[in-house]
Chains A and B, each alone.
Chain A
Amino acid sequence: MGVGEVKETENYRERIARRAAQEIEDGMIINLGIGIPTLVADFIPADKNVLFHAENGILGTGPSPAPGEENPMLCNAGGFPVTLVKGASFFDSATAFAIIRRGLLDMTILGVLEVSQYGDIANWIVPGKRVPGMGGAMELAQKAKRVMVLTTHLDKQGRSKIVRECRLPLTARRAANLIITDMAVMEVMEDGLLLREVMHPYSIADVIAATEAELNVAEHVGVFR
């Protein structure tokens, strides 16, 4: 599928990923979380040369291998087989996180359970219910130069995941820079969230009604189709 081309069957996950790919610039070093963030790689134009970092010890992962071509020892952090691009390297987990803590990631793209209007991120524990652990999310959220959050706007119970204050234990404070959902694109500013775009067919009023956090509305709100 070409960039910018919308498939008839495109679902909201793909639309979020396609919008997120527009934020990626040539030459970036990027870490993709599991879930919707993984899809972003499929939408980056070929003329943008980026390197993907995998926290299990690879810089320079490429597309999935063809069926039958998998190397079980060569997987991404989600456990799926990958290939390598030119210039790729392997390293141990301490070095993988040295790259993160040292601030060498231009961008990390994460999923969340909640994100607040100040950029606080909660994505590793629902006490007493779901406790997967933080994995590498604390380092990624705290240390990447730019943190992009991709999520559904509402949770499965229909509650806003874009909140005033996170109720769940935090992954990192004041971490998110940009939030892209199936309804909107919001930037985390000094004074809270700025609604920059709505996702077709939602209106500004739809987004405000569905959002617990306070939203400032940009002078010109774009529509992403």
Chain B
Amino acid sequence: MEQHQRQRRMDKVVPIEHVLPYFFHGMTVMVGGFGGVGNPPTLIRAILDKGVREITMISNDTAFPYIGIGLLVTERRVKKLITSHIGSNPNAGAQMTAGELEVEFCPQGILAERIRAGGVGLGGILSDIGLGTIAEQGKQKVNVNGKEFLLETPLTADVALVHAKRADRFGNLIYDSSARNFNPLVAMAGTVTIVEADEIVETGELDPEEVVTPGVFVDMIVPSEGVNWRWAWEK
């Protein structure tokens, strides 16, 4: 391996310009966050500013119209969603009803496990969630020891976008309270995983006992410019 490549594997901190080539029309992007909490604001802004369209987005929800990934929907950059809930973003519902946005709904815990399965190299998972409902449509049924399960397929993405509270230069990550949610799962499931971190420290400064995501899953780290929206609960 070339020396500069080795150095890049040990120090993944890059300016935002370096991640822009990884955002492209028609990309599949997976984003951590729940109701906007844990969405990476700087990376979302970069996608918007670059003008990327026709995105397939895998995310728990679509946040709120002007918060986090909600903006990608509001500005009509998303053509397909794989998600569990769009209720807090009326633009997503309106676009879906108008036939402009394809939405594949997945029970929330199953979405988490499908992303995890993709991230950890599994061929799928078996679960009984949604049996006897329309959520079982199109899914293979598997009988294990006399019990029926649905086969849920793994999810991966061209790019996985992660928000972390603290990262070291290798990419070891610590999350922030309930902003953890889907982030550690998404971090494992990208062909390229890009982390936006509120704080970046030298490698060795994080306590190995506290690291949630091992840096080996991470490809690039950009410093966060912080949340650039007002929360729904703020007056």
Asked whether, in the complex, the Cβ of B233 is within 8 Å of the Cβ of A80, the reply is: yes
Residues A139 and B108 in contact, CB atoms below 8 Å apart: yes
List the A residue with the shortest CB-CB distance to B127. Answer: A101
Annotate B164-197 by CB proximity to A: 1 below 8 A, 0 otherwise. 0100000000011111111111000000000000
Q: Which of A2-10, A71-79, A146-154, A185-193 contacts B (4 or more CB under 8 A)?
A: A71-79
Is A101 in contact with B97, judged by CB distance below 8 angstroms?
no
Across the interface, which residues of B come within 8 angstroms of A81, CB to CB?
233
**Chain B interfacial positions (CB closer than 8 Å to A):** 34-38, 60-61, 64, 83-88, 93, 96-97, 103, 105, 107-113, 116, 127-130, 132-135, 165, 175-185, 212, 227, 231-233
Q: Is the CB of A79 within 8 A of B35?
A: yes
Contact B35 A56, beta carbon cutoff 8 Å: yes
A57 touches B180 (CB 8 A): yes
Nearest Cβ on chain A to B126's Cβ, whole angstroms: 12
Per the 8 Å Cβ criterion, residues 142-180 of A in contact with B are 142-143, 169-173
Complex A-B, nearest 9 residue pairs according to Cβ-Cβ distance, in ascending order: A97-B109, A132-B87, A79-B35, A135-B85, A133-B85, A136-B108, A93-B112, A56-B34, A74-B177
9 A-B residue pairings within 8 Å (CB atoms): A58-B178, A79-B36, A80-B233, A96-B109, A132-B93, A133-B87, A134-B85, A136-B84, A172-B132
Contact A92 B185 (CB under 8 A): yes
A42-62 CB contacts (< 8 Å) to partner B: 54-58
Number of A-B contacts (CB under 8 A): 144
**Interface residue count on the A side (C-beta < 8 Å):** 45
A134 pairs with B113, CB closer than 8 A: no
Which single residue of chain B is at the shortest CB-CB distance from A170?
B133
A171 B133 Cβ-Cβ under 8 A: yes
Give the one of B64, B128, B129 with max A CB within 10 A. Answer: B129
Among the interface residues B175, B183, B233, which one has the most CB atoms of the partner chain A within 10 A? Answer: B233
Contacting residues of chain A (62-99) with chain B, CB-CB under 8 angstroms: 70-81, 90-94, 96-98
- In the complex the two chains form, is A57's CB within 8 Å of B181's CB? yes
- Not counting A132-B87, A135-B87, A173-B132, a sample of 15 additional A-B residue pairs whose C-beta atoms are within 8 angstroms of each other reads A75-B34, A78-B35, A92-B185, A93-B181, A100-B109, A132-B93, A133-B105, A134-B108, A135-B108, A136-B107, A137-B107, A138-B133, A139-B110, A170-B132, A173-B133
> How far, in Å, is B222 (CB) from chain A's closest CB?
19
Chain A residue at minimum C-beta to C-beta distance from B134: A169
Asked whether, in the complex, the Cβ of A93 is within 8 Å of the Cβ of B97, the reply is no
Residues of B within 8 A of A27 (CB): none
Q: Is the CB of B129 within 8 A of A77?
A: no
Do A92 and B184 touch (CB < 8 A)?
A: yes
